[in-house]
Amino acid sequence: MQLGDFQQLIRGMYHEKDVARGIDGTFMWLMEEVGELAAALREGTLEEQRGEFADVLAWLTTIANVAGVDLTEAIQEKYGSGCPGCGRMACDCDDAEKP
């Protein structure tokens, strides 16, 4: 499944509920899932980790849908030509720098 397909899938399943909840409420759900992912990475099985990664991606995608952001376009604009810091496809930024 491609990212754009996933974004449309999530939109089709949940968009009315997501819009009603709003960005703030949806962000809180994302943060809860990030916490669950952290716990799964520390102590969970691979199956649990996979499920939590999927949940985090789904909630992030939900926020993008509510905000009207096409994730495929956003990712292409930010990372499609290489690292946003140094511009290279294999990042050469100092380790102390973001990204």
pLDDT tens-digit map of 40-91: 999 999 999 999 999 999 999 999 999 999 999 999 999 999 999 999 999 9
In a domain, 19, yes or no: yes
CATH label of the domain that carries residue 41: 1.10.287.1080
pTM of the model: 0.88
Say which residues have a Cβ less than 8 Å from residue 81's Cβ, sequence separation at least 6.
87
pLDDT of 93: 92
In a domain, 88, yes or no: no
Phi, psi (deg, nearest 5) at residue 95: -60, -25
Host domain of residue 59? 3-68
